[in-house]
Structure 1
Amino acid sequence: MYDRILVPTDGSAETKQVVAHAAKLAEAHGAELHAIYVVNSATFASLPMETSWEGVTDMLQDEGESALEDVQKVASRYDVSLTTHLVEGAPNKEIVRYAEQEGFDLIVMGTHGRGGIDRLLLGSVAERVVRASTVPVLTVRVEKDEVTPKAEATEKAKGSS
């Protein structure tokens, strides 16, 4: 059913739960697992002009590489092949673009399940990906300090809204 699974990471501790879920799925289906970290280019806009762009770029890329190394550590516990990708742009747009261009069968993402004013103020990359993607998206609800992800998983089938 799944041959290529994409798991975006933001480097948070909670993402490790999502990676484990994606790796289990990849292992069960004999699928390739790919991890993507998007260096959020919008981060640059809020910096003072005197800030060294090169230094900021290096710092953000280092964070991304560290996050992808964490994914490798989690995925190594499973019998899966893992390929990592570091890209730059708006996270939700780059995740969708990458998944669609590279022919992925599934995107597995974490969500905090925020509602109300929190979601309005903070937004949700996962929600934007679900709305924009033609690739099915499986969301795994995670909570801070929670050891395992909640059993909530929502799949958006191709073409549904």
Structure 2
Amino acid sequence: MNILVAVDGSDESTAALERALDVADAMGGSVTVAYAVDPSVYDLGGPAPVSGLSDADRRLIMESVEDTERRGIDVLDDAAAFAADRGQPVETELLYGDPVRAITAFAESEGFDAIYVGHRGRSERTERLVGSVAKGIVERTSITVTVVR
């Protein structure tokens, strides 16, 4: 069984990785961990600096591709270290684009048997505005998806 785990650095994505490692170990399978670089989140507040926490909570900040790539590489390195600490090697993939489309397209093109994803990602605020990645993956693919809490 070949499993793809979508990670974003959240506790939930680490739980998904842990569950996927357990399943792969029990079934003699492999795990690939993927992070999708998507710097398409824009600052909704204009060019003025953020004036406080309440203002920051209402705004999304656009990140550069380089910053998003660096964070993605860090998340993938952390996931690989987590797996290595458990004695299980993983492959890592840095993908580009909308996470739902990037993860599902990669999973389908590479013939994965299952996708594991955390129930809730790093930012509830972003999820409210742009939607749940887990929900989008479930709706977009015919591959078995396990959503881990």
Q: Tell me the TM-score normalized by structure 1.
A: 0.71
**What is the rounded CA distance, in whole Å, between the counterparts of 2:28 and 2:88 in structure 1?**
7
Higher relative contact order (CA 8 A, sep 6+): 2
Q: 1:125 to 1:81 in 2, by over 3 A?
A: same
Instruction: Tell me, in whole angstroms, the C-alpha distance in 1 between the residues paired with 2:85 and 2:24.
Output: 12
Unpaired stretches in structure 1, ≥5 consecutive residues: 50-54, 113-117, 142-161
Q: 1:26–1:80: 8 Å Cα contact kept in structure 2?
A: no
Q: Quick check: 2:12–2:148 contact (8 Å CA) kept in 1?
A: no
User: 2:114, 2:128 → 1: CA distance?
Assistant: 26
| Structure 2: runs of 5 or more not aligned | 48-62, 121-125
State the partner residue of 2:101: 93
Match of 1:76 in 2: 84
Q: How far apart in 2 are the matches of 1:8 and 1:26?
A: 15
Identity, % of aligned positions: 31
Aligned partner of 2:9: which letter? G
Whether the 8 Å CA contact 2:95–2:103 is kept in 1: the answer is: no
Q: Residue 26 and residue 41 in structure 1: after superposition, are their counterparts in 2 closer, same or farther (change >3 A)? A: same
Distance 2:141 2:100 in 1: 9
The alignment of Structure 1 onto Structure 2 pairs a total of residues equal to 129
Query: Take 1:64 and 1:6, find their aligned partners in 2: how far apart are those partners?
Result: 16
Report the alpha carbon displacement of residue 120 of structure 1 after superposing the two structures with TM: 5.9
Which amino acid counterpart does residue 17 of structure 2 have in structure 1? Answer: V
**What is the TM-score with the length of structure 2 in the denominator?**
0.76
